């Protein structure tokens, strides 16, 4: 197995705007070229004995400056070893692609987040719901409702753990959860899909950041009762990890409180059954976030989707990696995705406590590198998002839009200092903190 560190290339100097008809407006990306080429980035391997320190959030001084806002040092940007480093976004990108929605009784019949027909078009006449779902401690698995999400993101939170934020648009699910706390990253997802954000509290800094923003009217935090419809789940566990959301009661709550649930113009990208061209293939996609949290997706050529496997035990005492299928306790279905997309995104420490206080701004704005997996293929890509209220655009390294397979899409969020190993058809990504 060959270790392939993510190498750096010079940032792109200037780009002229480009436009995707019917979907994206003007996208402009610019940055300056450093005076010297950055060195190769080869992060040190994290030993299995390097346990995260459970230090509580550190206080900030009054009137302290948010370092995220004052950040001037550019983050490292990875490129892909199968391709030369000179591959960058071209000077002008345009495509003759126009998405023509299908309508029935003036209602959209295809879910823009999956490219699939919906059985009830009225479900698309509302705002989507972005719901935080726990992935640790281990006993919260199997979760409920995750198999019914249209899109989901997994990202690192702190102390070796990850969390999901799942977008529900074309399905109503009676039990979703366990619902857990919010993070800065959730703002990006809520804005991309014009959704309500369901979460269970947050660190005071993150909570005040969200409530002070224009997202405040669309924040739905836990309060057990009919409105909002959170409830204690049917499991014998601590109440902190036993709170769920009932989507079937949400419409009544919306009407009762007079909330904005108007239809939204949103998109999840381009979709096609036709297989794209790529010389790279993938049977397994490993995501190693820590000794406590690691997983992989395995391609099923019959079902034409990827099946999720989650760690069955930690690696603290020299245990070998062990996996078990991740399932949905509410539906009984395995967690699958037609598309798995690994994106490399800057993780910026919120304050100076850094290693002891793992609170990040995951900066999902501007552009970065990605790898798109569908139909057993691997496609090196760019993600682009220059406006906060637009979704991610995925393009090839030559600037053409990437068509996803119709169905669910699952994003694995990695840092720009993360590394990967490609051994034939197996891909392994290892998360690294800044």
Is 295 inside any structural domain?
no
Pairing of strands 366-374, 403-404: unpaired
pLDDT tens-digit map of 177-221: 999 999 999 999 999 999 999 999 998 889 999 999 999 999 999
Is 182 inside any structural domain?
yes
Q: Could you report how far apart the first and last alpha carbons of the chain are, in Å? A: 26
Structural domain span for residue 137: 113-257
Is 216 inside any structural domain?
yes
Residue found under tokens 């392939």: 4
**How many domains does the structure of the chain reveal?**
1
CATH code at position 240: 3.50.90.10
pLDDT tens-digit map of 396-429: 999 999 999 999 999 999 999 999 999 999 999 9
| Residue bearing the bigger pLDDT, 226 or 116 | 116
Q: Tokens standing for 343?
A: 């994106």
Q: Tokens standing for 215?
A: 């997202």
Pairing of strands 377-385, 305-311: unpaired
pLDDT tens-digit map of 378-397: 999 999 999 999 999 999 99
For the chain, what's the residue count? 434
Instruction: Give Cα 424 to chain centroid, integer Å.
Output: 26
Mean pLDDT of 262-291: 94
Q: Is 207 strand, coil or helix? A: helix
Is 131 inside any structural domain?
yes
Per-residue pLDDT at 257 exceeds 80: yes
Of the pLDDT bands very low, low, confident and very high (cuts 50, 70, 90), residue 138 is very high
Is 247 inside any structural domain?
yes
Is 302 inside any structural domain?
no
| Residue bearing the bigger pLDDT, 358 or 130 | 130
pLDDT of residue 267: 84
CB 43 within 8 A of CB 432: yes
Q: Any bridge partners for residue 220, and if so which?
A: 198
In angstroms, rounded to a whole number, what is the distance separating the alpha carbons of residues 65 and 145? Answer: 40
CB 374 within 8 A of CB 338: yes
In angstroms, rounded to a whole number, what is the distance separating the alpha carbons of residues 244 and 166? Answer: 13
Per-residue pLDDT at 253 exceeds 60: yes
Residues near 117 by beta carbon (within 8 Å), at least 6 away in sequence: 102, 109, 110, 111
Using alpha carbons, select from 331, 343, 346 the residue that is nearest to residue 371: 343
Is 142 inside any structural domain?
yes
Q: Is 413 strand, coil or helix? A: strand
Task: Please name the residue ranges forming H helices in 48-140.
Answer: none
- Round the average pLDDT of the chain to a whole number and report it: 80
Is 325 inside any structural domain?
no
In angstroms, rounded to a whole number, what is the distance separating the alpha carbons of residues 277 and 397? Answer: 13
CB 395 within 8 A of CB 381: yes
Q: For residue 189, which phi and psi values (nearest 5 degrees)?
A: -65, -45
């Amino acid at each position: 197995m060959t270790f392939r560190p993510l190498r750096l290339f010079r940032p792109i100097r200037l780009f002229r705007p480009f436009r995707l008809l019917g979907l994206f407006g003007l996208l402009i990306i610019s940055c300056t070229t450093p005076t010297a080429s950055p060195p190769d980035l080869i992060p040190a391997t994290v030993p299995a004995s390097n346990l995260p320190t459970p230090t509580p959030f550190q206080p900030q001084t009054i009137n302290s400056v948010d370092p995220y806002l004052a950040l001037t040092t550019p983050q490292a940007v990875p490129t892909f070893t199968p391709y030369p480093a000179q591959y960058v976004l071209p000077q002008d990108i345009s495509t003759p692609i126009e998405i023509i929605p299908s309508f029935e009784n003036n209602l959209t019949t295809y879910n823009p987040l999956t490219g699939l027909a919906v059985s009830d078009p009225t479900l698309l006449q509302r705002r989507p719901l972005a719901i935080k779902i726990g992935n640790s401690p281990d006993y919260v698995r199997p979760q409920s409702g995750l198999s019914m999400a249209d899109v989901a993101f997994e990202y690192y939170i702190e102390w070796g753990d990850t969390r999901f934020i799942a977008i529900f648009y074309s399905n109503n699910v009676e039990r979703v959860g366990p619902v857990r706390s919010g993070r800065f990253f959730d703002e990006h997802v809520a804005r991309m899909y014009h959704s309500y954000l369901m979460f269970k509290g947050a660190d005071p800094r993150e909570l005040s950041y969200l409530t002070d923003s224009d997202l405040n009217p669309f924040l739905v935090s836990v309060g057990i009762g009919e409105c909002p419809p959170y409830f204690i789940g049917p499991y014998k566990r601590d109440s902190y990890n036993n709170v769920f959301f009932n989507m079937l009661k949400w419409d009544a709550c919306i009407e009762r409180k007079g909330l904005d649930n108007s239809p939204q113009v949103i998109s999840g990208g381009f979709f096609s059954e036709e297989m794209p061209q790529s010389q790279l293939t993938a049977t397994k996609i490993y995501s190693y976030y820590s000794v406590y949290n690691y997983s992989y997706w395995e391609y099923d050529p019959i079902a034409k989707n990827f099946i999720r496997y989650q760690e069955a035990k930690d690696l603290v005492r020299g245990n070998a990696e062990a996996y078990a299928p991740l399932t949905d306790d509410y539906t009984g279905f395995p967690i699958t995705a037609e598309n798995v997309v690994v994106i490399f995104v800057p993780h910026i420490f919120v304050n100076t406590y850094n290693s002891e206080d793992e609170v990040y701004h995951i900066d999902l704005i501007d552009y970065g590198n990605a790898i798109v997996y569908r139909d057993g293929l691997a496609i090196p890509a760019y993600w682009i998002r220059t406006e906060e209220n637009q979704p991610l655009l995925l393009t090839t390294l030559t600037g053409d839009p990437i068509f996803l397979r119709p169905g669910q899409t699952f994003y694995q969020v990695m840092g720009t200092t993360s590394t990967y190993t490609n051994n034939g058809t197996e891909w392994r990504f290892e998360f690294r903190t800044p």
